[in-house]
Chain A
């Protein structure tokens, strides 16, 4: 059975994510530290909370986290879990984890209502993405966020959505998979992506 750990910043709903992973066959543990003894096939950084408190909670175990990253264990970063991997965010004062080059910016205040809440369609730009296996282009997925990422290297973007600006809806770099939307909340399409991530962790 594929073992997946969800890192808990202690600030929101991770139960839905846990349920979704379990429904799709993963054995799930909730962690708030990255201990050496932890044997997992994949890690999920969930998408709920506020930037600074979440960074503080992961910084407490940064050495452990880096060790996991070096082992190339697949990581799925959702929403805030995606944003945290960047250099910095307009949501917070603290530095990000700086694993992906680029910044996290506020959605354009004069163009659209903020937060971006609801269902938006995906323009899949990387048809070979393993996360999107079996996912049709223009699929609808659920977003709830006020900030968006601007990766320096746009080649890592695997899908986009439009909300006043082009939002990188997902990125992939090495064994890191990120989505700005919430696959665990995106009905059967999202469920399929969760399944795909579990399959990625199997390999």
Chain B
């Protein structure tokens, strides 16, 4: 036996409500976070991720109260991200009941934060989120090509709005070294499209590191999840709209994967 592939519903939270964005832009209301968390936990989610999607750009602290309410009703692990800038921000969330914190912008601005978090909380508490977009200009280190166009994978911050010039593969290797316990890898190119995960990006990152990776961005069907597990070495698949808008139930997803020889927790 080995470790099961995880299915992680993601709850993007904006002003206390779960929302679903398209290509990081338009937002649709998808429900109450605590209610949804309990529902997914009962239905067999392996883990949950909450991302306060406006926190980083509006410089707000994340949703301590929501975290506390969620932690008192569910008995599966959950990660919280969005707007975490300091050790104190992370500690507040962890003490409120989050199992792990996810950092993105803050890690790029101050990479030492990863190391500091690791020394106190242990690396298993730290998820580093990578928001990645193809860049067709000069600048990257690892180049790929499709239809004769060359591109590289660039790290974006502040909710996908700001370019960094940082090559995503280089950055993934660096955050592993600094003490990240897991990478949450979101493709901005596929996010919200519901056309499937970014297989090329996921493989290029998984090849270079030895910490678990969560695939995110683009899941529109059960087949997309099967495909990402068949074609990549990824450890977990994140999905939002698939579950929020009732296109699939967690139980059905697990059954379908099991039937196709993917090891899942029933």
Contacts and interface: CB of A to CB of B under 8 A. Distances in A.
Contacts of A123: 1
Interface string A60-97: 00000000000000000000100000000000000000
Interface stretch (A36-44, A124-132, A142-150, A170-178): A142-150
Chain A interface mostly helix, strand, loop or mixed? mixed
A146 B46 CA distance: 19
Contact of A163 (B2, B75, B95, B118): B2
Contacts of B77: 142, 144, 182, 185
A134 interface: no
Nearest to B181: A115
Contacts of B5: 118
B2 A50 contact: no
Interface string B236-253: 100000000000000000
Interface in B34-63: 41, 46-47
B210 interface: yes
Which of B99, B118, B123 gathers the greatest number of chain A CB atoms within 10 Å? B99
A161 B122 CA distance: 22
Contacts of B75: 16, 20, 184-188, 190-191
A15 B71 contact: yes
B98 interface: yes
Nearest to B70: A16
Contacts of B124: 115, 117, 144-146
Given A115-B124, A182-B77, A120 B71 contact: no
A163 B3 contact: yes
A119 B97 contact: no
A25 interface: no
A113 B6 CA distance: 15
Given A144-B77, A187-B75, A119 B265 contact: yes
Contact of A80 (B98, B122, B181): B122
Interface in A135-175: 138, 140, 142-146, 161-163
A120 B2 contact: yes
A117 B181 contact: yes
B76 interface: yes
A99 interface: no
A185 B99 contact: yes
B4 A120 contact: yes
B94 interface: yes
B96 interface: yes
Contacts of A13: 71, 94-95, 97-99
Interface in B71-126: 71-72, 75-77, 94-100, 118-125
A46 B101 CA distance: 18
Contacts of B123: 115, 146
Contact of A162 (B2, B94, B97): B2
Given A11-B120, A144-B77, A185-B75, A118 B235 contact: yes
A96 to B, nearest CB: 16
A114 interface: yes
B154 interface: no
Contacts of A109: 210
29 contacts: A12-B95, A13-B95, A15-B68, A15-B95, A15-B97, A16-B71, A16-B99, A20-B75, A49-B122, A53-B119, A109-B210, A114-B211, A115-B123, A115-B124, A115-B181, A115-B182, A115-B212, A118-B5, A118-B6, A118-B235, A119-B3, A120-B4, A140-B265, A144-B124, A146-B123, A185-B99, A186-B76, A187-B75, A190-B75
Interface of A: 11-16, 19-20, 48-50, 53, 80, 109, 113-121, 123, 138, 140, 142-146, 161-163, 182, 184-188, 190-191
Pairs A-B, 9 closest by C-beta atoms: A15-B97, A119-B265, A140-B265, A144-B124, A119-B4, A50-B122, A118-B3, A19-B72, A185-B77
